[in-house]
Structure 1
Amino acid sequence: MLFMQMLVPPPPAYSDDQGSSGNGASTFSMFAPLDGIPTQLIDELALQLPQQGNRPFSATLLMPNLGKVQIRAQKRDSHWDIELGLERADVLERLTKHHGACQQAFAEALDHDVELRLQPTGPA
């Protein structure tokens, strides 16, 4: 139930073409139109991670636009250490191109410094 919103399939108007420039601003997208940041994932983790304290957090999510995402996170002394394992190569490539922006978005959402690692995972 916790991640139910992320499991709902995208509406029919969704287009996974990230190459188009903002025509259709009302269509659902896991990524912000220009910066490639997975805002829904960041928002959900910003709600869940602070509740973990210093305990490790681990979850696997099946997301409509990101595919399977394995999350490992833990709060260290002065920062959050977050690792995202991404099954889809296209998503890994897209997020890697925007690594700095993603890391900054996590830091702003968590109100702490973040060390973000993006890694490929094999199909289950």
Structure 2
Amino acid sequence: MYFDGDTHRRNFYSLVRLYRYNDVQNLSATYVAAHPTIFKCIDNDKELGGNNNPITLIKDSNGDYSHPALTGASKQMCLFAASLFNGHPVQLTDVLGNVNSHKLLQVLIQALVITSPTDSELCSEIFKPDPNIYY
């Protein structure tokens, strides 16, 4: 399974243990939320309701991803994760136009693979999901 560094891996497994998701939509959005550039923006004081995911904790009161620490790329990653989680519409050209790092693109690919781990043609060894995340 691909992680953009050890901090990304630790953040992800910490969130997986905390929330114990067993569905691919939550796992994939959590994987993106665990990326260090996004994880640092999560408001731990907000309560995570039953119909939410850590990616939703970054939203402001207007429902936007406007946290000052989010870059253009990390904001687009949040929108992409929200789309994986709840079908929120996202412009893929905006996402790909702002996510201009090979490592961040690999994060997006891994998030897609998590949503369909057995059916994905992208499931090469680098992106093969850790089977332990699926409870």
TM-score normalised over the length of structure 2: 0.27
Q: Which has the higher strand share?
A: 1
TM-score normalised over the length of structure 1: 0.28
Q: Which has the higher helix share?
A: 2
Which of the two has higher C-alpha Rg?
1
Higher relative contact order (CA closer than 8 Å, sequence separation 6+):
2
